[in-house]
Amino acid sequence: MTFAGALTITDLDDFLTPSQACIIPVRQSNKPAGQETGDNANTEIQIDANNNYYEVSTHSTALAGPSAGVEVGRQALKKAEISLNDCLACSGCITSTESLLITMQSHNEVLDFIKAGDFSRTPVLSIAPQTLASLSASYAGGEIPLRVLLRRIRTFLSVPERGGWQVWDTTFARHVALREMVTEFAERRAAAEQGEKMVLPMLASACPGWVCYAEKAQGDLLPLLAATRSPQGVMGALVKQWYARRLDRTPTEMYHVTAMPCYDKKLEASREDFYSEAYKTRDTDCVLTTGELDLLLHELGFEPLAAVDGEDSAETDIFPELLQHPGSSSGSYLGTLMSALAAAHHLPTRVHTRAVRGSTDNVEMFLEDSEGAVLFKGAICYGFRNLQNLVRKVGRETGIGRARPAGAGRLQAAVAARRRKARTGQGEIQTPATPSSPGTPGEGERNGDDAAGAALVASRDAKKLDFVEVMACPGGCVNGGGQMKPASASVDTEGYARPLADDGVAEPPRSTGLASEEGMRWSTKEWVAEVERVYWTGLPTPPSSPRVLAQDASLPQWPTRTRAADGQADQVVADMLGPVGGDRYACVRTRYKRVEGDVLSQGGLTHEQVKW
């Protein structure tokens, strides 16, 4: 099993093996209250016959000599235990090992809950739409529409002998999060107009891999991270607060499990902001990856192709199912924000999109009005390699980070001029004419006049970023490290499939040119494209154009049923905040903590002294 590349120290690979010992056991928070033994006190560790460890203090005497002494104190040492909170509050390593996360949150924990038959707690399973798409694409016998698959899982797990679960998808929680994000961006833009610093560009924070990296390696960027919770964070609040109150139960009496496309969501669920001190419970008790959910369902005997009653009926649940948010399969954060800004503008608008160096994982999007003014500049940034460029770009625009070396400004100006020349058709790269809306001159037409074309490109380049949709995995959430893997195409000499488990010998890499690309170590581009296709076409009424690519176009309209959920989302948030408008950080927002260099601030050790 492979991580999404959440945490690194020195570089930005998608996976790193541990390079140094965990420092947590060295940082003792509870010092033993031993006796004052003076300058001649010695301390040693002793092990008894039962392998119990003791810290023994001795005091040398004239009779015994310095090599032996009288025992003056004995302290039983506790076993060093490292929790997920320790990992989040430390920058000493990545996460220690994958097994740490999987042991603490896995399908076995859910199986144990089901076998225990604990009817004092109400179980709720929340499934991400990317997880449903991956499962649907992986099942043999043809893809299953996402709504049908969701209802089959719900019916299967709702019986008492399997726990009597409530099963929902997370798109309503995402809808709540998207509306809160639009509100937060409006607050930030207003603050920027008042001269406040470090509020823009707003960086999406739904990806826990990106958040952990920012906290541990790019602490200066934390003020720019969106305070809005991820859909998982919002869903936890909906289950433990809103739904528990609806059932007249306490948060402790709810057992909330989520199924997510990446392992890093396990880390997110362990954050302090998602823990209730009053009730001693987390908003999300256990996080399963897509593969772990599939394993759980398989062990329980789930048959995905078996039809169930009501799988095609109208919605009757308390939350709307599989709400569509046109834009991207990673949450549509940028698309949602641009749609809201376009709706609020008094003139007709269009979107121009350009891929940076031809990459679909690094795309800039401009919202322009009919007069050609650039109203908003956003970007999609997927994969840690692109994150490196993002960090540098944001640093230049905001002044964050180290000062640039002498001559850097002239060099960057020369590079920008060369790129503008290429984009306007004067350089080595010829940009094809861009289609335009009826009655509106497109960029290709305007580029007939070199000066006008250059001015247009220059205005886009001069505009600073307002918002970035950031995801750690190349390809976004549909390519999460916890997703289902593509079936192996390897066959033996007789033409039969040859799985790795047959002899334990790793297969040689296939020279397709796909698996070697960034982020495709556990997948292929073809498989990610298939999951992406199922994600959009498997929806109840799929949008016709989920992405706007390299052209001028209008923003896709949200479906009517998604718009209809606005009122319910606002009411649910109002219910959680209470009549006096409580703390939004208790249900729809979160905070971040800079942990760069925090590891060794107590104890005086250096990274070089801490080795495996």
3-state secondary structure labels for all residues of 450-497: HHHHHHHHHHHHHCCCCEEEEECCCCCHHHCCCCCCCCCCCECCCCCE
Find the mean pLDDT for residues 191-197: 92
What stretches of 240-304 adopt beta strand conformation (E)?
254-260, 275-276, 281-282, 286-289
**Between 537 and 433, where is the model more confident?**
537
pLDDT at 243: 97
Estimate the crossing angle of helix 290-300 against helix 107-116, to 10 degrees. 40
Q: Where are the alpha helices (DSSP H) in 5-49?
A: none
Q: Is the pLDDT of residue 506 over 50?
A: no
Classified as helix, coil or strand, 124 is strand
The answer, yes or no, to whether residue 45 has pLDDT greater than 90, is no
pLDDT tier at 87 (50, 70, 90 boundaries)? Answer: low
Count of Cβ atoms closer than 10 Å to residue 332 Cβ: 23
Query: Among 290, 306, 260, which Cα is nearest to 152's?
Result: 306
Higher pLDDT, 93 or 556: 556
Give the pLDDT confidence of 322-364 residue by residue, as tens digits: 999 988 999 999 999 999 999 998 888 889 998 988 888 999 9
Task: Select the more confidently predicted residue: 611 or 552.
Answer: 552
The residue ranges of every structural domain in the chain are 35-81, 84-197+227-323+559-586
Q: Which two tokens stand for residue 41?
A: 């006190």
| Model confidence at 429: pLDDT above 70 | no
Average pLDDT over residues 378-389: 90
Let me know if 131 is exposed, middle or buried by CB neighbors in 10 A (0-12, 13-18, 19+). Answer: buried
Are 151 and 308 in contact, with CB atoms under 8 Å apart?
yes
Of residues 20 and 140, the one with the higher pLDDT is 140
The pair of structure tokens assigned to 558 is: 């949200």
What are the tokens at 183?
Answer: 């509100």
pLDDT of residue 110: 94
The winner for highest mean pLDDT among 44-53, 118-127, 559-568 is: 118-127
Query: Could you tell me whether strands 467-471 and 202-203 are parallel, antiparallel, or unpaired per DSSP bridges?
Result: parallel
Contacts 24+ apart (CB under 8 A), 310-315: 310/151, 310/155, 311/147, 311/148, 311/151, 311/152, 311/155, 312/148
Show the DSSP H helices in 512-600 as ranges: 525-537, 560-577
CA-based nearest residue to 589, from 183, 75, 217:
183
pLDDT at 414 over 70: no
More confident residue, 96 or 218: 218
If one counts every other C-beta atom within 10 angstroms of the C-beta of residue 159, the result is 10
DSSP labels for 389-411? HHHHHHHHHH--SSPPPTTHHHH
Structure-block tokens of residue 361: 């994982």
Residue 186: what residue type?
A: A
- Give the pLDDT of residue 328: 92
Q: Based on the number of CB atoms within 10 Å of its own CB, is 109 exposed (0-12), middle (13-18) or buried (19 or more)?
A: middle
Q: Is the pLDDT of residue 6 over 60?
A: no
User: Mean per-residue pLDDT for 28-50?
Assistant: 60
CA neighbor of 593 nearest in space, from 46, 89, 94, 251: 89
Give the pLDDT score at 308.
92
Share of the chain above pLDDT 90, in %: 43
Sheet with 53-61, edge to edge strand ranges: 41-47, 53-61, 65-76
Three-class secondary structure assignment of 169-207: ECHHHHHHHHHHHHHHHHHHHHHHHCCCCCCCCEECCCC
Reported as a pLDDT band with limits 50, 70 and 90, residue 319 is very high
Burial class (CB in 10 A: 0-12, 13-18, 19+), 113: middle
pLDDT above 60: residue 416: no
pLDDT band per the 50, 70, 90 thresholds, residue 149: very high
Average pLDDT of every residue of the chain: 77
CA pair distance 266, 258, nearest whole angstrom:
9
What crossing angle do the helices spanning 333-344 and 171-193 adopt, rounded to 10°?
60
**Mean pLDDT to the nearest integer, 416-429:** 48
Query: Are 143 and 534 within 8 A, CB to CB?
Result: yes
Confidence of residue 500 (pLDDT cuts 50, 70, 90): very low
Q: Give whichever of 89-93, 374-378, 552-556 has the largest mean pLDDT.
A: 374-378
Contacts of 218 (CB under 8 A, 6+ apart): 391
Look at 403 and 248; give whichever has higher pLDDT. 248
Average pLDDT over residues 416-443: 43
CATH number of 84-197+227-323+559-586: 3.40.50.1780
pLDDT given at position 231: 97
Residue 446 has pLDDT above 80, yes or no: no
Most confident among 95-104, 257-266, 381-390, 423-432 (mean pLDDT): 257-266
Calculate mean pLDDT across residues 365-375. 88
Mean pLDDT of 303-307: 92
Return all residues near 579 (Cβ < 8 A) that are at least 6 apart.
Answer: none
pTM for this structure? 0.75
Tally the residues of the chain.
612
The Cα 439–Cα 81 span in angstroms is: 67
Report whether pLDDT(233) > 50. yes
Give 416 or 125, the one with higher predicted confidence. 125
The answer to whether residue 141 scores a pLDDT higher than 50 is yes
